[in-house]
Amino acid sequence: MGSSLSRLTEKTNVWPWLLLAPLGIYMLIFFVVPLVDVAIMSVTDPRLSLVNYERVLTGALYQRVFLNTFLTAAFVTVCCLAVGYPLAYLMAHSKPRTAMFILLLVTMSFWTSFLVRTYSWMVLLGNNGPLIALLQMIGIDDTPQLLFTRFSSTLAMVHILAPYMIMNIFSVMKKIDPALIRSAESLGARGWSLFRHVYLPLTAPGIANGSVLVFVICLGFYVTPVLLGSPREQMIAGLIGHQIDEFLAFGMGSAMAMVLLFITFVILTIYHRRFGLDKLWG
């Protein structure tokens, strides 16, 4: 490898390929082939036909689950934005110590495993949890069932995915030149109009990045909806898992997986054309 470095000249074209080869071969065998396997299973299990796709795309149950997944992902994205924007603003525009504290908190949340955060919400929303106790304290005796509902899974997903949104918006906000805001003010922009016409457009790239990331992750979310959601309102990933785990229906599971993959790719391709995919996770 050493001599590859010295040949910084781009004359020899074998080196990059030699360095890339191990990874390329590995990913071909253990990433591409399993994916192709899913595609093949979707049209061959139980027999060679498109019947799985027909059922996935026309069956009432599957349509409902896809629609539910879409609406949930959209709702979670909007909530993450509503939650993330003010916090990113606070991070970008408060004293270094406060900003540091919030940044630490968001980073902590980001690095804490999905499962741990899901479990925390089970404690918070459980029948013996603090939220129910609070409701009873203010006199609501007929407390609603919070856990294992659409409410609990949505809330937890917003909490889990919010750091992606916050980090993306924050990284844009902190780069905004204060001179731009000052000059807008000197030209008479105040309050809402300053925000609407100057600040918001400047932060739009962060909003776009964060929203795409949250939406795409949410579309394929398995753990939290399965553990916290209502069994009657499954999301697509949960249903795929169900098909594989309970029914060993690989054909149906694979067909659904391919549709999910297709939708994800369409969204990311549109994003890639406009902004470049490398910026999404960078």
Partner 1 sequence: MNTFMRWAGILVTIFIAAPLVIVVPMSFSSASSLQFPPPGYWFGYYRAYFTDLDWLIPTWNSVVIASATTLLTMLLVVPATFALVRHKFRGKSVADLMMLMPLAVPHIVMAVGYYSYLGDLGLVHSHMGVILAHTCLSVPIAFLVLSANLKGFDRNLERAALSLGASPTKTFIHVTLPILRPGLIISALFAFVQSFDETVVAIFISGRNAETLPRKMFDSIRQEADPVIAVISTLLFFLVLVGIAAPYFISALRSRVPKPSRSPAGAH
Contact 134, 176 (CB under 8 A): no
Contact 127, 134 (CB under 8 A): no
* Per-residue mark of binding to partner 1, 99-118 (x: CB under 8 A): xx-xxxxxxxx-xxxxxxxx
Q: Which residues of 99-114 are buried (b: 16+ CB within 10 A; e: fewer)?
A: beebeeebeeeeeeeb
- With contacts defined by CB under 8 A, how many residues of the chain interact with partner 1? 105
Q: Of the candidates 139, 144, 191, 231, which one interacts with partner 1 according to CB under 8 A?
A: 191
- 202 touches partner 1 by CB under 8 A: no
The candidate with the shortest Cα–Cα distance to 88, out of 161, 13, 170, is: 170
Residue nearer to partner 1 on the CB measure, 9 or 58: 9
Tokens for 227, please give them.
């553990």
- Return the range that interacts with partner 1 (CB under 8 A); candidates 46-54, 56-64, 83-91, 204-212: 83-91
- 157 touches partner 1 by CB under 8 A: no
Residue nearer to partner 1 on the CB measure, 10 or 142: 10
Residue 36 CB, nearest approach to partner 1 (Å):
8
**Site residues (CB under 8 A) for partner 1, limited to 21-80:** 22-24, 26-27, 30-31, 33-35, 37-38, 41
**Site residues (CB under 8 A) for partner 1, limited to 239-278:** 240-241, 244-245, 250, 253-254, 257-258, 260-261, 264-265, 268, 272, 277-278
Residue nearer to partner 1 on the CB measure, 58 or 128: 128
Single-letter residue type at 123? V
- 93 touches partner 1 by CB under 8 A: yes
Q: Residue 163: how many CB atoms within 10 A of its CB?
A: 23
Q: Distance between CA atoms of 93 and 175, rounded to whole angstroms?
A: 11
Residue nearer to partner 1 on the CB measure, 56 or 92: 92
What are 276-281's contacts with CB under 8 Å, separation 24+? 279/209, 280/209, 280/212, 280/213, 281/213
